[in-house]
């Protein structure tokens, strides 16, 4: 095998995929990511990461789309009004503001009136709908297309659920959490398979806690969840319990795929999990 | 009882009935004619947009390319006026093309990308369009690295702030 054809795989976790997807307009950031990826010729991610990506990246904009189309007729200003009342969601408001600015309204003058239910409201709503719908579909396809392999030792059923277009034009990106109890995945077996590694990780995390005094909330959750699952792995057939180990699952998918280089921007958790599982953390 | 000749009352009814048909007929013709005009305007606009892009790509002179390109973008905006008469696949295709082209120039697209965009333009002038066909274009745009997400992003180096003030409607009690 020549040096050129030798496979150099990198495992990409959710944070890195989100960074790749959203930093297209941030040249410094996208250059840094491209530089890291340039050292490898085979990119791998996992279905469970795609589920996280759906939850973090797609659900947010799918909700904005729903706000627009649920009015009859669809209303952009109605959605803007609704989002502005939700003070804790500045990102949703900024997405709508960006669309309005991009279309060209409210750019040249300081004040314009937009009446809910007016013709201009409907036209802007139709345009915004299309941009958002296309973006959701594109990002879902993008996840799979920008990597060479999507591994799934967990056989995660929720991660396989693709966004579904509704008759009203909205896109359903919900995660059917209650279906996890149907035991359609391989989570308990995967946990058993990786038991020795998980026990080592548990010991390393506890040691780090003693040394450092405090761990992140995610790692604290992981300690409790591993301890409980060692006694009964079938308890993991529950969406929220499975979620407590989300960082651990993604690192284990990399281990199970035999890929030692783990690409992430999630340094707090990976700083401890990677060395414990024999992975090398790679950051852009 | 069947009458050979209509009674006065029947005749009046018949007259009204026929007149009604006439009115409906006229309305139908007006509607058909308006619909044909609408379609014809729509086809002209969508072809003009496609031609504008083609001319902009083929232009040797930079000014000509820029002029054609800007005219094409304006035509795309005008096509949104027809969105009310069209279904979702059309709107999604229009949104896809517009999001890719607006605030850009021909120089930013390599020949393969231009071909993918022109293919999408060809379908834009169809009256009946399948969503699956639009999704194929979407995938092709992604494969050829065409950015369609710029409407959702803040303009480079800027942040957009919109303040909302609710105005009381004086016409309602």
Residue B69: pLDDT above 80? yes
What pLDDT score was predicted for residue B39?
A: 83
Model pLDDT for residues B43-59, shown as the tens digit of each residue: 899 999 999 999 999 99
What pLDDT score was predicted for residue A51?
A: 96
* pLDDT band per the 50, 70, 90 thresholds, residue B5: very low
Cβ-proximal residues to B155 (8 Å cutoff; 6+ apart), any chain: A98, A101, A102
* pLDDT band per the 50, 70, 90 thresholds, residue B1: very low
Stretch B103-129: mean pLDDT: 93
What pLDDT score was predicted for residue A2?
A: 42
What pLDDT score was predicted for residue B19?
A: 54
* DSSP at B82: G
Question: What value does the mean pLDDT of chain B take?
Answer: 82
Task: Please tell me the distance in Å from B25's CA to the nearest CA on chain A.
Answer: 30
Choose the closest CB to A138 out of B80, B81, B138: B138
What pLDDT score was predicted for residue A108?
A: 44
Q: Give the chain A residue whose CA is nearest to the CA of B147.
A: A24
Stretch B153-170: mean pLDDT: 70
More confident residue, B143 or B165: B143
pLDDT lower than 70: segments of chain A = 1-5, 86-91, 105-113
Domains of chain B, residue spans = 21-152
Q: Give the chain A residue whose CA is nearest to the CA of B84.
A: A123
Chain A to chain B Cβ contacts (< 8 Å): 98
Q: Does B11 touch chain A (CB under 8 A)?
A: no
* pLDDT band per the 50, 70, 90 thresholds, residue B42: confident
What pLDDT score was predicted for residue B171?
A: 63
């Amino acid at each position: 095998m020549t040096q050129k054809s030798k496979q150099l795989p990198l495992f990409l976790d959710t944070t890195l995929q989100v960074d790749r997807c959203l930093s297209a307009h941030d040249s410094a950031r996208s250059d840094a990511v491209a530089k890291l990826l340039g050292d490898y010729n085979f990119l791998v991610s996992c279905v469970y990461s795609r589920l996280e990506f759906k939850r973090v990246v797609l659900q947010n904009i799918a909700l904005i789309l729903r706000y627009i189309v649920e009015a009859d007729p669809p209303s952009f200003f109605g959605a803007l009004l609704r989002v502005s009342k939700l003070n804790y969601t500045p990102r949703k408001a900024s997405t709508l503001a960006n669309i309005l600015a991009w279309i060209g309204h409210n750019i040249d003058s300081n004040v314009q009136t937009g009446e809910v239910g007016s013709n201009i409201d409907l036209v802007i709503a139709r345009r915004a709908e299309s941009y958002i719908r296309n973006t959701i579909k594109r990002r879902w396809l993008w996840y799979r297309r920008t990597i060479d392999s999507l591994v799934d030792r967990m056989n995660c059923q929720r991660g396989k659920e693709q966004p579904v277009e509704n008759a009203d034009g909205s896109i359903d990106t919900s995660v059917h959490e209650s279906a996890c109890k149907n035991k359609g995945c391989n989570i308990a077996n995967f946990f058993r398979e990786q038991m020795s590694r998980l026990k080592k990780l548990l010991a390393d995390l506890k040691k780090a806690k003693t040394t450092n005094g405090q761990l992140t909330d995610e790692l604290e959750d992981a300690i409790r969840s591993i301890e409980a699952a060692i006694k009964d792995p079938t308890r993991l057939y529950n969406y929220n319990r499975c979620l407590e180990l989300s960082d651990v699952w993604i690192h284990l998918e990399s281990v199970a795929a035999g890929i030692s280089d783990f690409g992430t921007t999630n340094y707090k958790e990976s700083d401890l999990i990677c060395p414990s599982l024999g992975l090398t953390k790679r950051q852009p | 009882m069947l009458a050979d000749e209509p009674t006065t009352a029947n005749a009046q009814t018949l007259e009204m009935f026929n007149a009604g048909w006439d009115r409906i007929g006229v309305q139908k013709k007006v509607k058909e004619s308006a619909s044909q005009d609408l379609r014809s305007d729509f086809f002209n606009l969508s072809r003009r947009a496609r031609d504008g892009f083609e001319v902009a790509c083929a232009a040797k002179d930079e000014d000509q390319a820029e002029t054609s390109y800007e005219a094409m973008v304006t035509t795309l905006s005008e096509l949104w006026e027809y969105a009310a008469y069209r279904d979702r696949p059309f709107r999604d295709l229009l949104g896809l093309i517009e999001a890719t082209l607006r605030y850009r120039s021909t120089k930013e697209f390599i020949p393969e990308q231009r071909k993918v965009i022109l293919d999408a333009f060809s379908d834009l002038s169809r009256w009946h369009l399948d969503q699956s066909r639009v999704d194929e274009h979407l995938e092709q745009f992604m494969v050829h690295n065409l950015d369609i997400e710029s409407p959702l992003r803040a303009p480079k180096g800027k942040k957009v702030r919109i303040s909302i003030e609710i105005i009381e409607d004086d016409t309602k009690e």
